Amino acid sequence: MLHWFNPLAWLAAFRFDECAELAADKMAIEDEPALAGDLAGALLLVAQDATRTRILAPAASGRTLSRRLTRLIEPTAQPGERMMLTKRIPLLLLLTALIGAGAVQVNLVAQDEPLEAIGGGAGEITVKAAQDFAAKVAGTDELHKQFKAALQTEAGALALRDRVGQMEAEAREEAYEDAIPELVNSIFVGEGDKLKLREDKQAFRSQYLSATEKVNQDLAAMRKTLNEVAGKMKLESDLDKIVHRFVTNESAPIILYVRELRPRLRPGMRVLEEILEGVFARRQDGKYAIRADARPAAEQRAKRFTEFQSILKRFRRDVRELGAEISQHDDFHKRVHAAFTDPLFTARLGAELIEDGGASRIRAERLIGNLEGALREGAEGLVVHPNEREEVGEFIEEFERGKAAAARLRAPLKQFAERIADDDELHKAWREMLQSDLALIQIGGQLEYATADAGDAIREFLSQIINEQPDGSLKVEPQEADEEELIEGISDIFRASRAARRRGRELEELLIKVDDTQLRDAMQSAAGKVVFGDYLNRHLASTIPNGLDQWIDDHFERTTAGFRIRGEAEEAIRDMLKDVDAIKEELENADF
């Protein structure tokens, strides 16, 4: 991250409106993989992945993202003094989550159904779950008895959570270690001394290449701006030279791109997420689910939608019939005519009905009556009443804008709908609704956008620290007290870029034997690595270790009678029982 004075940081910390604007025309139409966040370029920055905890990588990141962001907002805050209190948690955090699954099927290790699963992660081990496990423990000696007894208590369940949690943390660390080769193996298969693309990975191939192409465009635009800036820089102070080194460095700006610029340039699905935020939230697993508190509203909407569907046919015919009578004697009326006869226009009116109380037949007829009221007979058919012209004009204009946006929305909306959690009838109803014309035109109407490319973005970014001099040259001029911080920030980026290079080489070596040269070249390019990082991110998030099963396997053997403590695990179990006793003892003394 750069500096607290950097407006991008403020921006990240505040409602990221222009994200939506930037997004619309660049929205991923095809199924684009998750966008990487700060940690991301994951390939690049495995060492800094924020999904790891501080305990695992204290040196790498020093503090968690949230803490870092706290510091951005309040530079003097001590770590832990207060958590962020921004209206929204900055985008960077948002990006650590996955936008969706399904682009690549990563089935690395065919996972066996665990024989005796009693829960998911460490957090879910309750006394009840611990008791269930205890019931399956078979041994009858003292140690087994003590263990079973311990699991009947809160303290026992807690100790078990502790062990399992630690196991998961370790497993997660291992997963990070192995992530790159595993992912490569899931894409390619060895044939002789060649690596061939797996047969089911054709879709991956084209998605990957097109995503890489986009990043490439960004990087090229960025490079162009950087060269321009570098050429004009006046190199006087050390700081000038440091920044110049950064600007001219091959890979360091890419880190900046991944961390800061790309999320702004390609917000992807987040635009839809924001628009639908009142009803849906994206879950950790990437699925969209209806918020616990939005159900009543969601149910009402769904009901009204069904209501509208039932009258849709006739309503559409009525509107079209009216539209057909509209005169086409001038441009304005031609537009009105075109709108009225457009099926999307009926949907637009339907949205109006649904918003405003419901879509019963009577209300629909009343609406048509209102429309008719705005028209009157003209020489060549119906014309818009002069008094209503302004309002009708605005409505038509808004419709046309919405329609234009809707064209780009169809695919993303479908994608969104497909990612709706398959929970119940209500979710199903919404899945259908979101793929209707009605959703398309309604959401399309809410999209506004402006364009900016990566070159602009990096220019804006650099303008925080570089100033134009009267003679037209550029010079580094950060705010006085922050020189140190600037150097620290740049060092951080250089560090990250070196780490990324090392990881990148690992990937390059793995890919040497790939026979698909186009894919190989893409994957070995800088842009390709950024995209690979996205896949890696998703892969990592989808590899959720089952610590409990692992812990059980490590400490117990499965016999026909039930679980039995392994001889070599007795010490560890005793240790755990000691903890349980200690906790109980502390509990005895919990009064004050």
Partner 1 sequence: MTTTDRRRFLTGSLSGAATLMLLRNALANGSLAESRKAKRCLVLWMNGGPSQLETFDPKTGSNGGPTGAIQTKIPGVKFSANLPKLAERADRLAVLRNITSPEGEHERAQYYLHTGFRLVPAFPRPALGSVISHESPASDIPSYVLLGRQTFGPAYCGPDHAAFAIANADDARRLMSRTQRRRSDLEFLQQLNQPFDEQNAFPAVKRRRSMIDRIARLVETPFRRTLDVERESASTRARYGEGEFGQRCLIARRLLERDVPFVEVQLDGWDTHVNNFDAVSQLARPLDSAFAALLDDLQSSGLLEDTLIVWTGEFGRTPLINAQSGRDHFPRVTPVVLAGGALPTGQVVGKTSSSGAQIRGDSHSIPDLCATLFQLLGVDREKEFRTSFDSPTKPVEEGARLIPAIAPNRSAG
Partner 2 sequence: MLTSSLLALLLIGASPQDQIDTHLGAAQRHAGVQPAPLCDDETFLRRVTLDLAGRIPTRAELTAFRRQPNRTAKIDQLLAGDEFPRFWSQVWTSALVGYATERFEASREPLRIWLEEQLRANTPYDKIARELIAAEGESAFDGPVNFLVRHREQPAVKVSRIFLGVRLDCARCHDHPFDRWTREDFDRFTRFFDGVEYREVSGRNIRVLEAPREASEEDRPRFLSGAKPRTSRWRDELALFVTTCKPFARNYANRVWYQLLGRGVVEPPDDFSANEPSSPELMKHLTELARETKFDTRAMIRAICNSQAYQRQSGRGEESFNSHSLFASFTPKPLTIEQQIHSLRIAFDLSPTALQIQENIRNAVEESLDADFSETWAYRDNVQDEMSRLVRELPRLEGDFEDWYERILSRSPTMRERKLCEGRPQSQVIFALTHSNEFRFNH
83 binds partner 2 (CB under 8 A): yes
**Least distance (Å) between residue 255 CB and partner 1:** 20
**Least distance (Å) between residue 270 CB and partner 2:** 8
486 binds partner 1 (CB under 8 A): no
3-state secondary structure of 82: coil
| CA atoms of 137 and 135, how far apart (whole Å) | 6
Query: Using CB distances below 5 to 8 A depending on partner kind, what does residue 7 bind out of partner 2, partner 1, none?
Result: partner 1
| CA atoms of 454 and 325, how far apart (whole Å) | 49
221 binds partner 1 (CB under 8 A): no
| CA atoms of 281 and 188, how far apart (whole Å) | 35
169 binds partner 1 (CB under 8 A): no
570 binds partner 1 (CB under 8 A): no
Q: Which is nearer to partner 1, 24 or 441 (by Cβ)? A: 24
Q: Tell me the two tokens of residue 422.
A: 């398959």
The DSSP bridge partners found for residue 191 are: 194
Q: Exactly one of 161, 244, 262, 427 binds partner 2 (CB under 8 A); which one?
A: 161
Query: Using CB distances below 5 to 8 A depending on partner kind, what does residue 591 bind out of partner 2, partner 1, none?
Result: partner 2
173 binds partner 1 (CB under 8 A): no
Q: Tell me the two tokens of residue 368.
A: 């048509």
Distance of CA 429 to the CA centre of its chain: 24
| CA atoms of 326 and 177, how far apart (whole Å) | 68
B/e letters for 206-240, b = 16+ CB within 10 Å, e = fewer, are ebbeebbebbbebbebbbebbeebbeebeeeeebb
- Residue keyed to tokens 């040269």: 517
Closest CA to 184 of 497, 519, 542: 519
Name which of residues 77 to 136 contact partner 1 (CB under 8 A).
85-87
Query: Using CB distances below 5 to 8 A depending on partner kind, what does residue 154 bind out of partner 2, partner 1, none?
Result: partner 2
73 binds partner 2 (CB under 8 A): no
Using the 8-state DSSP alphabet, how is residue 388 labeled?
G
73 binds partner 1 (CB under 8 A): yes
Q: Exactly one of 162, 213, 365, 460 binds partner 1 (CB under 8 A); which one?
A: 460
**Least distance (Å) between residue 313 CB and partner 2:** 28
Binding mask 270-299 for partner 1 (x = CB under 8 A): ------------------------------
Given its phi and psi angles, is residue 80 left (phi above 0), alpha (psi -120 to 50 degrees) or beta? Answer: left
Given its phi and psi angles, is residue 466 left (phi above 0), alpha (psi -120 to 50 degrees) or beta? Answer: beta
Q: How far is CA 474 from CA 221, 238, 467, 469, 572, in A?
A: 20, 14, 6, 6, 64
Closest CA to 161 of 124, 200, 131: 124
**Least distance (Å) between residue 407 CB and partner 2:** 25
Q: Tell me the two tokens of residue 226.
A: 């950087």
Name which of residues 285 to 304 contact partner 2 (CB under 8 A).
289, 291-293, 296-297, 299-300
Binding mask 47-66 for partner 2 (x = CB under 8 A): ------xxx--------xxx
159 binds partner 2 (CB under 8 A): yes
Those residues whose C-beta lies under 8 Å from the C-beta of residue 242, and which sit 6 or more positions away, are 487, 490
| CA atoms of 371 and 368, how far apart (whole Å) | 5
Q: Which is nearer to partner 2, 267 or 504 (by Cβ)? A: 267
586 binds partner 2 (CB under 8 A): yes
* Cβ neighbour number for residue 164 with a 10 Å cutoff: 24
| CA atoms of 226 and 244, how far apart (whole Å) | 10
590 binds partner 2 (CB under 8 A): yes
282 binds partner 2 (CB under 8 A): yes
Query: Using CB distances below 5 to 8 A depending on partner kind, what does residue 457 bind out of partner 2, partner 1, none?
Result: partner 1
| CA atoms of 162 and 52, how far apart (whole Å) | 17
Query: Using CB distances below 5 to 8 A depending on partner kind, what does residue 331 bind out of partner 1, partner 2, none?
Result: none
| CA atoms of 48 and 42, how far apart (whole Å) | 8
Closest CA to 530 of 307, 208, 295, 309: 208
Q: Which is nearer to partner 1, 192 or 470 (by Cβ)? A: 470
Closest CA to 538 of 287, 285, 255: 285
Q: How far is CA 366 from CA 350, 360, 373, in A?
A: 12, 10, 10
- Residue keyed to tokens 């501080």: 54
**Least distance (Å) between residue 122 CB and partner 2:** 8
**Least distance (Å) between residue 236 CB and partner 1:** 17
518 binds partner 1 (CB under 8 A): no
Q: Give, for 108, the enclosing helix (H) or strand (E).
A: none
Q: Which is nearer to partner 1, 154 or 460 (by Cβ)? A: 460
The region of 1-9, 109-117, 328-336, 494-502 touching partner 1 under the rule CB under 8 A is 1-9
Query: Using CB distances below 5 to 8 A depending on partner kind, what does residue 386 bind out of partner 2, partner 1, none?
Result: none
Name which of residues 3 to 42 contact partner 2 (CB under 8 A).
none
The DSSP bridge partners found for residue 514 are: 195
Name which of residues 9 to 38 contact partner 1 (CB under 8 A).
9-11, 13-14, 17-18, 21
450 binds partner 1 (CB under 8 A): yes
Q: Exactly one of 113, 331, 471, 480 binds partner 1 (CB under 8 A); which one?
A: 480
Q: Exactly one of 136, 459, 501, 513 binds partner 1 (CB under 8 A); which one?
A: 459
239 binds partner 1 (CB under 8 A): no
477 binds partner 1 (CB under 8 A): yes
76 binds partner 1 (CB under 8 A): yes
Q: Exactly one of 17, 78, 82, 250 binds partner 2 (CB under 8 A); which one?
A: 82
Chain residues binding partner 1 by CB under 8 A are 4-5, 7-11, 13-14, 17-18, 21, 73-76, 85-87, 450, 452, 456-457, 459-460, 463-464, 467-468, 470, 477, 479-480
